[in-house]
Structure 1
């Protein structure tokens, strides 16, 4: 046998032994239930997936907890805000009630003071004063203005009736705050307003340029010369 044939023979025997060993190993794995995986896996890939899953779960839990905290904070703030609003409304209501009570008390004191000490009569949110002496229209007005008032302005029928029932109690005549002294026939109250109600006697006014001031006489009006001497009625509005 040549050397070449001898080497080949030995290599064939080694290959046969190696195949025999592999067959025995496979047979042993099959008997013991162990499966030979032929799938190629990249080292560390399963570890990376696990880490990403844990990170995702942690981030989800943190987001949920953050939402819960924010929702709780909003509820607490909303509750406190509502309570503060209710408290402010209650305080405001109490202040308004106290203000109204003080205003009422103040008005009552003013009424008592004027009525008791100065002879003023209260009604229709105004104080009225009837003179006990006679003066001209201009002098009468000056008297009223020195006391923070003016000659009476009768704005409506209700006030007209009030004056008739509570102030004028005889057949005397009284100056009121109506005149056309600035322009003939253009009657104005002392505050510059135009009357919306008229209570002239029949055929009044009839004095033309000679009678430019108005007096109240038995529930109606008549124009007279402003220099005539008559009683007068002052009026002081509560808000003047």
Structure 2
């Protein structure tokens, strides 16, 4: 009886194993069919909604960074131009400062001559001589002191000089071309304060101008008169 029971148990187990094996085989075939029918390209190439969102965000960030970079480049260019402009202004101010220093030193040196008979009027220093020399020697005296014979530019200066009661050489001559009067700085005389009948070039050799109470007159350059030097301080 025990043998019969054992045989039934073995047969039952064998049939169970066969059944399990068949079920596994069916599952394998079904899995294979699913894999064969699946379109991997569609799954791989079709972007998912999350991927599309991240892509848009990256593109937006890239555009923002590009805009920021361009703005920074523009700011750098503007700052560079401002810097260069400030450098030019600084250079100009430095040149002006140096020029003012030179003018200050020149003025201090010029003012030091006041004790030697120089007087100040408007923007110039004047020296009125007490001795007499010809026109060329009178001018040499002035140029050796950083000045020149006086150039009379306006009526105020004319009145200032005319107040003296003597006659003086001024920085005016037509020695180069007869009748073409020039100041010692090379400029042409455009208007003057000639006395009545002057200039008359008496005897044809009156090429230098002098001033007296009635105005200007032409005289021979070798005649001896007092003279007036002028040194311009402020132009």
Q: What secondary structure, in the 3-state scheme, does the structure 2 residue paired with 1:61 have?
A: helix
The residue that corresponds to 2:186 in the other structure is 192
Q: C-alpha distance in 2, partners of 1:193/1:80? A: 51
User: Is 1:233 aligned to 2:206, yes or no?
Assistant: no
5+ residue gaps in structure 2? 1-36
TM-score by length of 2: 0.64
Q: What secondary structure, in the 3-state scheme, does the structure 1 residue paired with 2:46 have?
A: helix
Q: What secondary structure, in the 3-state scheme, does the structure 2 residue paired with 1:205 have?
A: coil
The residue that corresponds to 1:175 in the other structure is 169
The residue that corresponds to 1:111 in the other structure is 107
Contact preservation (8 Å) 1:164, 1:219: no
Residue from 142, 145, 152 that aligns with 2:143? 145
Deviation at 1:186, TM superposition (A): 2.0
Contact preservation (8 Å) 1:137, 1:228: yes
Contact preservation (8 Å) 2:139, 2:149: yes
Q: C-alpha distance in 1, partners of 2:186/2:101? A: 33
Cα distance change of structure 1 residues 150 and 51 upon mapping to structure 2, 3 Å threshold: same
Cα distance change of structure 1 residues 193 and 101 upon mapping to structure 2, 3 Å threshold: closer
Q: C-alpha distance in 2, partners of 1:60/1:231? A: 97
Deviation at 1:82, TM superposition (A): 4.8
Q: What secondary structure, in the 3-state scheme, does the structure 1 residue paired with 2:107 have?
A: helix
The residue that corresponds to 1:164 in the other structure is 159
Deviation at 1:45, TM superposition (A): 4.0
Contact preservation (8 Å) 2:107, 2:233: no
- 1:200-211, aligned counterparts within 5 Å? 200-208=194-202, 209-211=204-206
Cα distance change of structure 1 residues 223 and 97 upon mapping to structure 2, 3 Å threshold: same
Task: Describe the superposition over 1:164-200 as per-residue Cα deviations: whole angstroms up to 9, x where unpaired.
Answer: 33x5542111111111222222222223321111110
Deviation at 1:135, TM superposition (A): 0.6
The residue that corresponds to 1:220 in the other structure is 215
The residue that corresponds to 2:118 in the other structure is 120
Q: C-alpha distance in 2, partners of 1:87/1:221? A: 57
Contact preservation (8 Å) 1:111, 1:122: no
Cα distance change of structure 1 residues 169 and 202 upon mapping to structure 2, 3 Å threshold: closer
- 1:48-87, aligned counterparts within 5 Å? 48-51=44-47, 60-79=56-75, 82=78
> 4+ residue runs of structure 1 moved beyond 6 angstroms?
52-56
Task: Describe the superposition over 1:58-113 as per-residue Cα deviations: whole angstroms up to 9, x where unpaired.
Answer: 55433322221122233344445555655666676666566656654653453343
The residue that corresponds to 1:11 in the other structure is none
Greater mean deviation of Cα atoms: 222-231 or 110-119: 110-119
TM-score by length of 1: 0.63
* RMSD, aligned CA: 3.6
